[in-house]
């Protein structure tokens, strides 16, 4: 991929979006038959599945917590999800994303209700176009709710960044690669608590504040779509 001369032309981005606009978002809950809960998320060209199993008996036994459940997350990218084949299996990057995903989701779960058990979350990226960790968190939150795991709230997540000196919402691949900054954020929308915040690049203090505000606005929109997806799973059948 070649670096485009400008990422922002007349206030419009390469795909015609305004700086504070999300990519088209589609969420569907309960898509996998075998999982206790599942969700499918399409955010622009990102295609992500999340599957939840549990709470179930934990193996290996020595990892059990006597007073609470354990949350296990695995983020994984399909070999065909990116242009150059990705070597399958866990690597440095996916281990890190699995860890931050777990920490982003843990605060909303009532883990103390299920001592000695485990809740497994699998996130599979089928097609990647920047922002897969945020799409994965959005999918995992819906899948957990779909599995009937008690939660304080959902978790919504989006990336913000800077291209050509402008703060933008929801970076796509070119913007991620050639932009100045990429900052994924996950929040608990109702309480406005940040559960994930990473940054690649740099912001001034003012830019950071502006970017975080934009991320909160983006998350609110995503939160609404997530809630709708969960309600829709049962609403369609209600007309029968």
Partner 1 sequence: MIHVQNREIVVPGQLIAEGNYRHLEGSYREGNKIYSAVVGLADVKGDRVRVIPLQGRYIPHVGDLVIGVVIDNHSSGWILDINSPYTANLFVSELVHRKVDLNKEDISKFLSIGDVVLASVKEVDEYMRVLLETPGRGMGKIKGGKLVEISPAKIPRVLGRKGSMLKVIESKTGCTLAVGQNGRIIIWGKDPERVNLAVEAILMIEREAHTSGLTDRVSLMLEKQREGGI
Residues that bind partner 1 (CB under 8 A): 36-37, 54-57, 66-67, 108, 110, 113-117, 145-154, 189-190, 227, 230-231, 233-235, 237-238, 240
The H helix count followed by the E strand count for the chain is: 4, 11
3-state helix, strand, coil in the chain (%, to 5): 30, 30, 35
Q: Which is nearer to partner 1, 119 or 211 (CB)?
A: 119
Q: Name the minimum Å distance from CB 19 to partner 1.
A: 29
Q: Which is nearer to partner 1, 11 or 66 (CB)?
A: 66
- Distance CA(146)–CA(35), nearest Å, equals 10
CB 186 within 8 A of CB 155: yes
Q: Which is nearer to partner 1, 191 or 209 (CB)?
A: 191
What are the start-end ranges of the E strands in 58-133?
A: 70-77, 117-127
From first CA to last CA, the distance across the chain in angstroms is: 50
Q: Name the minimum Å distance from CB 66 to partner 1.
A: 6
Q: Name the minimum Å distance from CB 240 to partner 1.
A: 7
- Distance CA(142)–CA(232), nearest Å, equals 12
Q: Name the minimum Å distance from CB 139 to partner 1.
A: 15
Q: Name the minimum Å distance from CB 173 to partner 1.
A: 32
Q: Which is nearer to partner 1, 8 or 151 (CB)?
A: 151
Residue 214, judged by CB atoms within 10 A of its CB (0-12, 13-18, 19+), counts as buried
Q: Which is nearer to partner 1, 178 or 216 (CB)?
A: 216
* Coil, helix or strand at residue 62: helix
């Amino acid at each position: 991929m070649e670096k485009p001369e400008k990422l922002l032309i007349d206030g419009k981005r390469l795909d015609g979006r305004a700086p504070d606009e999300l990519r088209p978002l589609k969420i569907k809950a309960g898509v996998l038959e075998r999982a206790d809960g599942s969700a499918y998320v399409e955010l622009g060209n990102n295609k992500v599945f999340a599957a939840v199993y549990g709470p179930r008996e934990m193996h290996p036994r020595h990892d059990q917590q006597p007073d609470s459940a354990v949350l296990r997350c695995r983020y994984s990218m399909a070999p065909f999800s990116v242009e150059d084949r990705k070597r399958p299996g866990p690597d440095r990057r996916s281990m890190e994303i699995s860890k931050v995903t777990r920490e982003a989701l843990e605060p909303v779960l009532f883990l103390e209700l299920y001592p000695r058990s485990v809740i497994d979350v699998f996130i599979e990226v089928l097609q990647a176009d920047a922002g897969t960790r945020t799409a994965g968190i959005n999918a995992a939150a819906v899948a957990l709710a779909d599995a009937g795991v008690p939660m304080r709230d959902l978790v919504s997540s989006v990336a913000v960044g800077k291209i050509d000196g402008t703060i933008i919402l929801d970076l796509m691949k070119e913007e991620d690669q050639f932009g100045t900054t990429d900052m994924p954020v996950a929040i608990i929308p109702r309480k406005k608590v940040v559960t994930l915040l990473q940054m690649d690049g740099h912001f001034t203090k003012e830019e950071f504040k502006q970017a975080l505000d934009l991320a909160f606005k983006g998350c609110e929109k995503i939160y609404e779509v997530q809630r709708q997806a969960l309600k829709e799973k049962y609403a369609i059948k209600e007309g029968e």
